[in-house]
Protein backbone atom coordinates (compact mmCIF):
# COMPACT_ATOMS: atom_id res chain seq x y z
CA UNK A 1 0.00 0.00 0.00
CA UNK A 2 1.38 3.42 -0.97
CA UNK A 3 2.00 6.32 1.39
CA UNK A 4 -1.02 8.21 0.04
CA UNK A 5 -3.33 5.25 0.63
CA UNK A 6 -2.00 4.76 4.17
CA UNK A 7 -2.54 8.46 4.90
CA UNK A 8 -6.12 8.27 3.61
CA UNK A 9 -6.84 5.24 5.80
CA UNK A 10 -5.49 7.03 8.86
CA UNK A 11 -7.57 10.16 8.15
CA UNK A 12 -10.74 8.13 7.59
CA UNK A 13 -10.16 6.04 10.73
CA UNK A 14 -9.55 9.11 12.90
CA UNK A 15 -12.64 10.83 11.49
CA UNK A 16 -14.78 7.78 12.18
CA UNK A 17 -13.47 7.58 15.76
CA UNK A 18 -14.15 11.25 16.44
CA UNK A 19 -17.64 11.09 14.96
CA UNK A 20 -18.50 8.02 17.02
CA UNK A 21 -17.58 9.89 20.19
CA UNK A 22 -19.50 13.03 19.22
CA UNK A 23 -23.17 13.63 19.88
CA UNK A 24 -24.85 14.84 16.70
CA UNK A 25 -28.14 16.65 17.19
CA UNK A 26 -30.72 16.92 14.42
CA UNK A 27 -32.24 20.31 13.69
CA UNK A 28 -35.76 18.82 13.18
CA UNK A 29 -38.25 17.66 15.79
CA UNK A 30 -38.88 13.96 16.36
CA UNK A 31 -42.43 14.01 15.00
CA UNK A 32 -41.36 15.55 11.65
CA UNK A 33 -38.49 13.08 11.40
CA UNK A 34 -40.78 10.09 12.03
CA UNK A 35 -43.23 11.39 9.42
CA UNK A 36 -40.45 11.74 6.83
CA UNK A 37 -39.12 8.25 7.58
CA UNK A 38 -42.59 6.71 7.28
CA UNK A 39 -43.28 8.47 3.98
CA UNK A 40 -39.91 7.40 2.58
CA UNK A 41 -40.46 3.81 3.68
CA UNK A 42 -43.92 3.72 2.11
CA UNK A 43 -42.59 5.22 -1.14
CA UNK A 44 -39.94 2.49 -1.33
CA UNK A 45 -42.52 -0.24 -0.74
CA UNK A 46 -44.77 1.15 -3.48
CA UNK A 47 -41.91 1.28 -5.98
CA UNK A 48 -40.93 -2.35 -5.46
CA UNK A 49 -41.90 -4.79 -8.21
CA UNK A 50 -44.04 -7.85 -7.58
CA UNK A 51 -40.90 -9.98 -7.86
CA UNK A 52 -39.39 -8.17 -4.88
CA UNK A 53 -36.74 -5.94 -6.50
CA UNK A 54 -36.43 -2.27 -7.39
CA UNK A 55 -35.67 -0.86 -10.82
CA UNK A 56 -35.66 2.67 -12.19
CA UNK A 57 -34.34 4.47 -15.21
CA UNK A 58 -31.43 6.88 -15.06
CA UNK A 59 -31.99 10.10 -16.96
CA UNK A 60 -29.06 12.18 -18.10
CA UNK A 61 -28.63 15.31 -20.18
CA UNK A 62 -28.85 15.46 -23.95
CA UNK A 63 -25.08 15.18 -24.40
CA UNK A 64 -25.42 11.41 -24.52
CA UNK A 65 -28.41 11.60 -26.83
CA UNK A 66 -26.31 13.41 -29.40
CA UNK A 67 -23.30 11.18 -28.81
CA UNK A 68 -25.45 8.14 -29.58
CA UNK A 69 -26.47 9.72 -32.89
CA UNK A 70 -22.87 10.60 -33.72
CA UNK A 71 -21.75 7.07 -32.87
CA UNK A 72 -24.19 5.57 -35.37
CA UNK A 73 -22.73 7.76 -38.10
CA UNK A 74 -19.12 7.26 -37.03
CA UNK A 75 -19.57 3.47 -37.21
CA UNK A 76 -21.43 3.88 -40.53
CA UNK A 77 -24.53 2.25 -39.08
CA UNK A 78 -26.93 5.13 -39.57
CA UNK A 79 -29.02 3.37 -42.22
CA UNK A 80 -29.81 0.35 -40.08
CA UNK A 81 -30.59 2.60 -37.11
CA UNK A 82 -32.84 5.17 -38.79
CA UNK A 83 -35.70 4.53 -36.38
CA UNK A 84 -33.41 4.92 -33.35
CA UNK A 85 -31.94 8.12 -34.76
CA UNK A 86 -35.41 9.52 -35.45
CA UNK A 87 -36.44 8.80 -31.86
CA UNK A 88 -33.28 10.41 -30.47
CA UNK A 89 -33.87 13.49 -32.63
CA UNK A 90 -37.45 13.78 -31.38
CA UNK A 91 -36.15 13.69 -27.83
CA UNK A 92 -33.60 16.41 -28.59
CA UNK A 93 -36.29 18.63 -30.07
CA UNK A 94 -38.60 18.02 -27.11
CA UNK A 95 -35.93 19.18 -24.64
CA UNK A 96 -34.86 22.32 -26.50
CA UNK A 97 -35.45 25.64 -24.72
CA UNK A 98 -37.52 28.35 -26.33
CA UNK A 99 -34.42 30.42 -27.13
CA UNK A 100 -32.97 27.54 -29.18
CA UNK A 101 -30.44 26.34 -26.61
CA UNK A 102 -30.14 23.23 -24.47
CA UNK A 103 -29.37 23.19 -20.73
CA UNK A 104 -27.53 20.45 -18.88
CA UNK A 105 -30.62 19.79 -16.77
CA UNK A 106 -34.28 20.77 -16.76
CA UNK A 107 -34.63 24.40 -15.85
CA UNK A 108 -30.87 24.97 -15.97
CA UNK A 109 -28.94 27.70 -17.72
CA UNK A 110 -28.32 27.44 -21.44
CA UNK A 111 -25.10 25.68 -22.41
CA UNK A 112 -23.58 27.00 -25.62
CA UNK A 113 -21.27 24.05 -26.26
CA UNK A 114 -23.98 21.46 -25.73
CA UNK A 115 -26.22 23.45 -28.05
CA UNK A 116 -23.60 23.34 -30.81
CA UNK A 117 -23.21 19.59 -30.42
CA UNK A 118 -26.97 18.97 -30.45
CA UNK A 119 -27.35 21.23 -33.48
CA UNK A 120 -24.75 19.19 -35.34
CA UNK A 121 -26.37 15.88 -34.34
CA UNK A 122 -29.71 17.08 -35.68
CA UNK A 123 -28.18 18.41 -38.87
CA UNK A 124 -26.25 15.19 -39.41
CA UNK A 125 -29.59 13.40 -39.08
CA UNK A 126 -31.15 15.46 -41.85
CA UNK A 127 -32.56 18.55 -40.15
CA UNK A 128 -31.90 21.85 -41.91
CA UNK A 129 -32.30 25.54 -41.21
CA UNK A 130 -35.81 25.46 -42.65
CA UNK A 131 -36.80 23.79 -39.38
CA UNK A 132 -37.88 26.39 -36.77
CA UNK A 133 -35.97 24.56 -34.02
CA UNK A 134 -32.76 24.65 -36.04
CA UNK A 135 -33.22 28.33 -36.85
CA UNK A 136 -33.64 29.12 -33.17
CA UNK A 137 -30.43 27.25 -32.33
CA UNK A 138 -28.63 28.99 -35.18
CA UNK A 139 -29.69 32.40 -33.85
CA UNK A 140 -28.72 31.51 -30.28
CA UNK A 141 -25.27 30.17 -31.17
CA UNK A 142 -24.41 33.03 -33.52
CA UNK A 143 -25.46 35.58 -30.90
CA UNK A 144 -23.34 33.91 -28.22
CA UNK A 145 -19.92 33.84 -29.87
CA UNK A 146 -20.51 31.36 -32.68
CA UNK A 147 -19.23 27.81 -32.94
CA UNK A 148 -15.67 28.97 -32.24
CA UNK A 149 -16.72 29.74 -28.64
CA UNK A 150 -17.38 26.02 -28.04
CA UNK A 151 -15.39 24.48 -25.19
CA UNK A 152 -12.33 22.35 -25.96
CA UNK A 153 -13.94 19.01 -25.11
CA UNK A 154 -16.76 19.59 -27.57
CA UNK A 155 -14.38 20.88 -30.20
CA UNK A 156 -12.43 17.62 -29.98
CA UNK A 157 -15.63 15.60 -30.35
CA UNK A 158 -16.67 17.64 -33.36
CA UNK A 159 -13.17 17.45 -34.83
CA UNK A 160 -13.69 13.69 -35.15
CA UNK A 161 -16.40 14.67 -37.61
CA UNK A 162 -14.24 17.20 -39.44
CA UNK A 163 -16.03 20.23 -37.97
CA UNK A 164 -12.89 21.53 -36.26
CA UNK A 165 -9.24 21.12 -37.21
CA UNK A 166 -6.90 19.19 -34.94
CA UNK A 167 -3.49 20.82 -34.45
CA UNK A 168 -0.43 18.97 -35.62
CA UNK A 169 0.83 16.68 -32.90
CA UNK A 170 4.15 14.84 -32.75
CA UNK A 171 4.14 11.35 -34.21
CA UNK A 172 4.92 8.80 -31.54
CA UNK A 173 5.84 5.10 -31.61
CA UNK A 174 3.57 2.56 -29.97
CA UNK A 175 5.87 2.04 -26.99
CA UNK A 176 5.60 5.72 -26.15
CA UNK A 177 2.03 5.08 -25.10
CA UNK A 178 3.41 3.08 -22.18
CA UNK A 179 5.48 6.08 -21.18
CA UNK A 180 2.71 8.65 -21.44
CA UNK A 181 -0.17 6.67 -19.93
CA UNK A 182 0.82 6.97 -16.23
CA UNK A 183 1.23 10.73 -16.60
CA UNK A 184 -2.32 11.11 -17.90
CA UNK A 185 -3.85 9.40 -14.85
CA UNK A 186 -7.54 8.62 -15.44
CA UNK A 187 -7.53 10.70 -18.64
CA UNK A 188 -5.67 7.90 -20.41
CA UNK A 189 -8.94 6.06 -20.98
CA UNK A 190 -9.89 8.91 -23.32
CA UNK A 191 -6.64 10.54 -24.36
CA UNK A 192 -4.76 7.43 -25.50
CA UNK A 193 -7.52 6.17 -27.84
CA UNK A 194 -7.98 9.72 -29.08
CA UNK A 195 -4.27 10.01 -29.95
CA UNK A 196 -4.51 6.80 -31.94
CA UNK A 197 -7.58 8.06 -33.79
CA UNK A 198 -5.87 11.36 -34.57
CA UNK A 199 -2.67 9.72 -35.75
CA UNK A 200 -4.60 7.29 -37.96
CA UNK A 201 -6.83 10.16 -39.15
CA UNK A 202 -9.89 8.00 -38.52
CA UNK A 203 -12.36 10.84 -38.96
CA UNK A 204 -15.92 10.86 -40.24
CA UNK A 205 -16.47 13.24 -43.15
CA UNK A 206 -20.11 14.32 -43.38
CA UNK A 207 -21.65 15.75 -46.52
CA UNK A 208 -21.47 19.47 -47.21
CA UNK A 209 -25.14 19.74 -46.23
CA UNK A 210 -24.39 18.41 -42.74
CA UNK A 211 -21.60 20.74 -41.61
CA UNK A 212 -21.89 23.54 -39.07
CA UNK A 213 -20.01 26.08 -41.21
CA UNK A 214 -22.85 28.56 -40.86
CA UNK A 215 -22.37 28.70 -37.08
CA UNK A 216 -18.87 30.22 -37.25
CA UNK A 217 -18.47 33.95 -37.01
CA UNK A 218 -14.97 33.53 -38.47
CA UNK A 219 -14.50 30.07 -39.91
CA UNK A 220 -10.86 30.64 -40.94
CA UNK A 221 -9.62 31.11 -37.39
CA UNK A 222 -12.53 29.54 -35.55
CA UNK A 223 -12.06 25.96 -36.73
CA UNK A 224 -8.60 25.55 -35.22
CA UNK A 225 -8.10 23.81 -31.88
CA UNK A 226 -5.23 25.01 -29.73
CA UNK A 227 -3.54 22.52 -27.43
CA UNK A 228 -2.61 23.56 -23.93
CA UNK A 229 1.17 24.01 -23.45
CA UNK A 230 1.19 21.19 -20.90
CA UNK A 231 -0.36 18.78 -23.40
CA UNK A 232 2.12 19.80 -26.09
CA UNK A 233 5.02 19.19 -23.69
CA UNK A 234 3.64 15.79 -22.75
CA UNK A 235 3.22 14.76 -26.37
CA UNK A 236 6.72 15.90 -27.22
CA UNK A 237 8.06 13.85 -24.34
CA UNK A 238 6.20 10.81 -25.61
CA UNK A 239 7.51 11.33 -29.13
CA UNK A 240 11.07 11.53 -27.81
CA UNK A 241 10.68 8.30 -25.82
CA UNK A 242 11.35 6.05 -28.80
CA UNK A 243 13.36 3.48 -26.86
CA UNK A 244 12.26 2.37 -23.42
CA UNK A 245 14.49 0.06 -21.44
CA UNK A 246 12.99 -3.03 -19.75
CA UNK A 247 13.64 -1.40 -16.38
CA UNK A 248 11.80 1.78 -17.41
CA UNK A 249 8.93 -0.22 -18.86
CA UNK A 250 8.57 -2.04 -15.55
CA UNK A 251 8.58 1.25 -13.67
CA UNK A 252 5.91 3.01 -15.74
CA UNK A 253 3.58 0.01 -15.88
CA UNK A 254 3.79 -0.93 -12.18
pLDDT at residue 221 in the model: 82
Predicted TM-score (pTM) of this structure: 0.68
Q: Is residue 128 in a domain?
A: yes
- Structural domains of the chain, count: 1
The per-residue DSSP string of 131-177 comes to SHHHHHHHHHHHTTT-GGGS-HHHHHHHHTTTSSBPPP-----TTHH
Would you say residue 222 lies in a domain?
yes
Q: Is residue 253 included in any domain, yes or no?
A: no
Q: Is residue 36 part of a domain?
A: no
pLDDT at residue 238 is higher than 70: no
Q: Is residue 15 part of a domain?
A: no
CATH classification of the domain holding 164:
1.50.10.20
The mean pLDDT value for 65-76 works out to 96
Is the residue at 78 inside a domain? yes
Q: Say what the pLDDT of residue 85 is.
A: 97
Q: Is position 7 within any domain?
A: no
Please indicate, yes or no, if residue 26 is contained in any of the structural domains. Answer: no
Range of the domain at 171: 63-240
How far is Cα 156 from Cα 159, in angstroms, rounded to an integer?
5
Residues 106-118, mean pLDDT to the nearest whole number = 93
Amino acid sequence: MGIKNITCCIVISCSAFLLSATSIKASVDSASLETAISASRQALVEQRTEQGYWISGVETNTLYTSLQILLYFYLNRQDENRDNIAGLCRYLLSTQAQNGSWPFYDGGAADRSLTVLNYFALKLSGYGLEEPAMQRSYDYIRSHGGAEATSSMYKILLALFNQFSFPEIPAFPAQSLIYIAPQLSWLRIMEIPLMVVIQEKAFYHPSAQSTIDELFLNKTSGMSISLEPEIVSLLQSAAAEVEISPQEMTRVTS
